[in-house]
């Protein structure tokens, strides 16, 4: 690219008076080789379409398409709708193409926060693809390993919060990589003796909930949904049986109510709970934009969300 991004320098200078071009790399020495720099098309749709075709031609490879931010996948929506989600049903063409979509509310604004979990879940049926939101490095490793080795090819969509890159709690011991496998649902590793509430979440918000529980000393059990689709109903049923003493189940998410996994999870959790306890929702209010454009507003929403969780007014 002629234009520098992040820490890269511009390879082309444009005179603001006469619009003439100057390439610094063309003036390093008198006898240097010529330097030609061209802008390539920035097309998520084009690259994702190519990757889909490549995954069909080389089915033993693991092809990954990664968005700089998860929102950028919307420019390739036609490839997702017409090919990735439906190619096996329509034409019998199975693919293991894997989409890595950064997702997480970190105060980056509406265009840099959401991989649109709700849209992918809306397209899920007939086991047409896998939707995952892994929360540990070992889980992510085993998820990709399973994807590469599985005989029955399925597309995989993984939501990958950027906060994991530096989060002190997001780590795994080495033996978690060399042993075990991917777990679709993660039970609480340190549950209270007699939990009063079952908090179910998916993704990086687990770590915020964990820190808040330690700070407030709550008697809640934290359950993580690592694979949203296909949902492992049997594991969830076992968890509810294990914590039968709890009086309420709360789905907690950092996304807005009309986004994230709540609309998808609500009827499934209601069926699993089967009236044994009430089901409530705690998360941001419905909104048109995926996230607040102001970091200050983002922080206020986050604090209000946690206050709602630890108040009496959780909405069912």
Answer whether residue 14 is part of any domain.
yes
Please tell me the least confidently modeled range out of 29-43, 112-126, 130-144: 29-43
Longest Cα–Cα distance of the chain, Å, equals 81
pLDDT value, residue 117 = 97
DSSP sequence for 70-127: GGGGGGGHHHIIIIITTHHHHH------EEEE----SS--TTSS---HHHHHHT--TT
Quote the tokens at residue 213. 């529980």
Per DSSP, the three-state class of 172 is coil
Quote the tokens at residue 132. 């995952």
| Mean pLDDT within 66-90 | 92
| Mean pLDDT within 34-54 | 89
Q: C-alpha angle 284/203/231, rounded to 5°?
A: 100
| Mean pLDDT within 230-240 | 97
Answer whether residue 127 is part of any domain.
yes
Q: 232-237: which pairs have CB atoms within 8 A and are 24 or more residues apart?
A: 232/184, 232/185, 233/268, 233/272, 235/184, 235/185, 236/185, 236/269, 236/272, 237/272
Spatial separation of the C-alpha atoms in residues 291 and 74, rounded to whole Å: 16
Task: Output the average pLDDT for the chain.
Answer: 92
Answer whether residue 1 is part of any domain.
yes
Do 197 and 290 lie in a common domain?
Answer: yes
- Confidence at 315, pLDDT banded by 50, 70, 90: very low
Spatial separation of the C-alpha atoms in residues 78 and 247, rounded to whole Å: 44
Answer whether residue 90 is part of any domain.
yes
pLDDT value, residue 241 = 95
Angle between helices 262-273 and 233-242 (to 10 degrees): 60
Do 250 and 297 lie in a common domain?
Answer: yes
Answer whether residue 137 shows pLDDT above 80. yes
**The domain containing residue 4 runs over which residues?**
1-40
Do 153 and 234 lie in a common domain?
Answer: no
* Helix residue ranges, H only, the chain: 44-57, 77-79, 87-91, 117-122, 137-149, 174-178, 205-216, 233-242, 262-273, 295-309
pLDDT tens for 170-219 read 999 999 999 999 999 999 999 988 899 999 999 999 999 999 999 988 78
Structure pTM?
A: 0.88
Spatial separation of the C-alpha atoms in residues 258 and 302, rounded to whole Å: 17
Do 35 and 51 lie in a common domain?
Answer: no
Answer whether residue 312 shows pLDDT above 70. no
Do 106 and 31 lie in a common domain?
Answer: no
Per DSSP, the three-state class of 269 is helix
Answer whether residue 133 is part of any domain.
yes
- Confidence at 107, pLDDT banded by 50, 70, 90: confident
pLDDT value, residue 225 = 99
Do 266 and 247 lie in a common domain?
Answer: yes
Answer whether residue 176 is part of any domain.
no
Do 304 and 193 lie in a common domain?
Answer: yes
Q: φ and ψ at 229, to 5 degrees? A: -145, 135
Mark which of 165, 199, 224 sits at the end of a domain. Answer: 165
**Sign of the CA dihedral 265, 271, 275, 276?**
negative
pLDDT value, residue 316 = 43
Do 192 and 297 lie in a common domain?
Answer: yes
Answer whether residue 47 shows pLDDT above 70. yes
Do 124 and 27 lie in a common domain?
Answer: no
User: Would you say 216 and 310 are in contact if contact means Cβ atoms under 8 Å apart?
Assistant: yes
Do 123 and 25 lie in a common domain?
Answer: no
Answer whether residue 170 is part of any domain.
no
| Mean pLDDT within 57-83 | 91
Answer whether residue 1 shows pLDDT above 90. no
Do 115 and 50 lie in a common domain?
Answer: yes
Cα dihedral value 123, 128, 133, 137, nearest 10: -160
Answer whether residue 178 is part of any domain.
no
pLDDT value, residue 205 = 95
pLDDT value, residue 216 = 87
- Confidence at 108, pLDDT banded by 50, 70, 90: confident
CATH number, domain with residue 139: 3.40.50.12470
CATH number, domain with residue 193: 3.40.50.11610
Do 83 and 159 lie in a common domain?
Answer: yes
- Confidence at 69, pLDDT banded by 50, 70, 90: confident
Answer whether residue 87 shows pLDDT above 70. yes
């Amino acid at each position: 690219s002629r234009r520098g991004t992040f820490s890269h320098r511009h390879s082309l200078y444009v005179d603001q008076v006469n619009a003439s071009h100057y390439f610094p790399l063309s003036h390093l020495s008198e006898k240097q080789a010529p330097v030609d720099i061209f802008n390539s098309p920035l097309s998520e749709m084009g690259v994702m379409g190519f990757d889909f075709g490549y995954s069909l031609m080389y089915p033993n490879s693991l092809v990954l398409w990664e968005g700089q931010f998860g929102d950028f996948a919307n420019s390739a929506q036609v490839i997702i709708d017409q090919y990735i989600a439906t190619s096996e049903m329509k034409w019998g063409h199975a693919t293991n193409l894997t989409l890595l979509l950064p997702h997480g509310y970190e105060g980056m604004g509406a265009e840099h926060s959401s991989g649109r979990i709700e849209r992918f879940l809306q397209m899920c049926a007939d086991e047409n693809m896998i939707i995952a939101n892994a929360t540990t490095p070992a889980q992510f490793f085993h998820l990709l390993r399973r994807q590469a080795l599985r005989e029955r090819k399925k597309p995989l969509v993984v939501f990958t919060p950027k906060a994991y890159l530096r989060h002190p709690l997001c780590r795994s011991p080495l033996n978690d990589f060399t042993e075990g496998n991917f777990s679709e649902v993660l039970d609480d590793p340190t549950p209270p003796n007699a939990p009063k509430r079952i908090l179910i979440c998916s993704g990086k918000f687990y770590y915020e909930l964990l820190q808040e529980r330690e700070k407030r000393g709550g008697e809640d059990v934290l359950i993580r949904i690592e694979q949203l689709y296909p949902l492992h109903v049997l594991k969830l049923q076992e968890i509810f049986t294990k914590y039968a003493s709890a009086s309420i189940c709360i789905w907690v998410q950092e996304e807005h109510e009309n986004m994230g996994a709540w609309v998808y999870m609500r009827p499934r959790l209601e069926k699993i709970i089967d009236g044994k306890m009430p089901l409530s929702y705690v998360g941001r209010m419905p909104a048109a934009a995926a996230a607040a454009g102001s970091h200050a507003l983002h922080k206020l929403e986050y604090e209000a969300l946690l206050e709602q969780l630890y108040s009496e007014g959780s909405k069912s």
